Chain A
Amino acid sequence: METTDGQREDAVLLRAAADGDLAAVRELYDRHAPWLSARLMRRCNDREVVVDVVQDTFVAMWQDARKWRGQGDVAGWLWGIAFRRLVSRLRKRREVLLMPDWDAVGNGVLPAAEEQVLLGVEYGDLGAALRRLSPEFRAVVQACVLDGLTTREAGRLLGVRENTVKTRLHRAKAQLRTALADIELEAW
């Protein structure tokens, strides 16, 4: 219930923003800029770039608000805009790009039980299966599946050809399927 209310309200605000209502833009900014900037900071360690990307994202949101027809939710739409901007900004500056460190597992921040709950909430057994993938495959899954890039964009981000991305994604999915089947077997 809460989720649908929140979404509906985002859509209403977006419509007001399209009509040039600055207060509506501000409200949307207050709702979405904090998590968006935190997530961008996990992808890029140049603060100035993140400032620019957040700014561009909300300007784009305001400009395109009229075109938004309520497909999906506003949060996912905003992340799509923001991450694409980030990727195109960073094409020439790879040194500020942070690729998630998949091998630094469990540094004691979370109690194991809590960790399992979080993994279970969103991905079920997929989280554990993800950990078993090789680093290149995880990077592709991260870019295409978790961050929602197209294979072409992911190729640009990872510095490999689009076809390579497609192949890796295909194999990664196959491995995940096998891993999930294994996990289920182990649980028996």
Chain B
Amino acid sequence: MSTTTWHADPALLQAYVAGELDAVLSASLERHVERCPECRGAVRPLADGPLLDEAWAGVRERVESRPLPAAIRLAQRLGLREPSAVLLSAAASLRLAWLSSCLVALGFATVATLMSEDRLWPFLLVAPLIPVLGVAAAYGDADDPFEALAVTAPYGRTRLVLLRTVGVLVTTLPVAGLFGLFLPGPAWIAAAWFGPALAMVPVLMALASFIGPRMAGPLVTILWCGVVLGAVRELPPTWPIEATQQLVYVGLALVALAVLAARSVHTRKIGAAL
């Protein structure tokens, strides 16, 4: 039977909306309304206006808000909560531009390393700095965005700093590690540079809690360049990542963590300067 010739009259729709129809009639009416644009329109004046306005406000907010980057939506699928996702998406060093420039720099360093016989320093110079600079640059070069975030984010400062650090490490380390596989020489080199790379992160955070990330980032960079370039002439190419030196990095990282802990007890805000 055709559904376009018959239309529900307002009284019937009113009774339906008020819940006065029995189940069989409701089911029939619902079936009809689902397929009849005119009757759907006729329900509009009978519907709960405030309810519709409330729901529309939510829809509009979602449609108008900028979509999160694809990588962060992926992390959200894997269980990252929405506040964390928004926070990570605001981090400058997680943007595609930053990541791709890191890749280019590391790519050049890897090629430079491959072109010479036993030279390792171009790669060792660049690779460990990528995560640490990523952490330092996470929130751009303005002075106070972290403060604004720390106030508005739904959780504590410590967690904020850790979340961001982990975000940077997760995005940069795997790719940089992949480049490491192309390096000449023994396979352990591909993994050994993770030692200084990871150790420099707490050192940076400890320094930054005194002098701010704008100063701490370059300072750590200079120190690392000093270590790598200082070893170029006289020492074997793998010197900066050999076992003894690794122990020194671990020691430095532990000291830095202790300083951070002491600072956070003292000032109650470890991420103050980051």
Contacts and interface: CB of A to CB of B under 8 A. Distances in A.
Interface of A: 1-3, 6-7, 20, 22, 25-26, 29-35, 37-39, 41-42, 47, 50-52, 54-55, 58-59, 62, 73, 75-76, 79, 100-102, 104-107, 109-110, 114-115, 117-124, 127, 130-131, 138, 142, 146
Interface string B52-82: 1011101110111000000000000000000
A122 B28 contact: yes
Given A32-B40, A34-B52, A105 B22 contact: yes
B104 interface: no
Nearest to A124: B1
Contacts of A115: 25
Contact of B8 (A33, A50, A54, A118): A118
Given A104-B22, A121-B32, A34 B44 contact: yes
Nearest to A29: B56
Q: Which of A20, A26, A39 has the most CB of B within 10 A?
A: A39
Shortest 5 CB-CB contacts between residues of A and residues of B: A6-B37, A34-B47, A100-B23, A55-B58, A54-B55
Chain A contact residues, majority secondary structure: helix
A182 B19 CA distance: 31
A118 B29 contact: yes
B112 interface: no
Contacts of B17: 38, 41
A110 B48 CA distance: 23
B43 A59 contact: no
B20 interface: yes
A146 to B, nearest CB: 5
A41 B35 contact: no
A37 B104 CA distance: 53
Given A51-B51, A62-B62, A109-B20, A127 B28 contact: yes
A130 B24 contact: yes
Contacts of B211: none
Given A3-B4, A109-B20, A110-B15, A33 B63 contact: no
B4 A42 contact: no
B27 A100 contact: yes
Interface in B25-47: 25-41, 43-44, 46-47
17 contacts: A29-B56, A31-B40, A33-B52, A34-B52, A38-B16, A38-B47, A41-B17, A41-B19, A51-B58, A55-B55, A59-B59, A62-B62, A76-B34, A110-B25, A117-B6, A121-B28, A127-B25
A50 B6 CA distance: 29
Given A30-B44, A41-B48, A146-B31, 10 more contacts: A33-B55, A34-B46, A37-B47, A37-B55, A51-B55, A75-B40, A102-B22, A122-B29, A123-B28, A146-B30
A124 B2 CA distance: 12
Contacts of A79: 34
Q: Which of B26, B34, B47 has the most CB of A within 10 A?
A: B34
Nearest to A53: B55
A14 B263 CA distance: 56
B21 interface: yes
A20 B3 CA distance: 33
Given A38-B46, A42-B19, A120 B27 contact: no
A146 B22 CA distance: 14
A25 B22 contact: no
A118 B31 CA distance: 10
B12 interface: yes
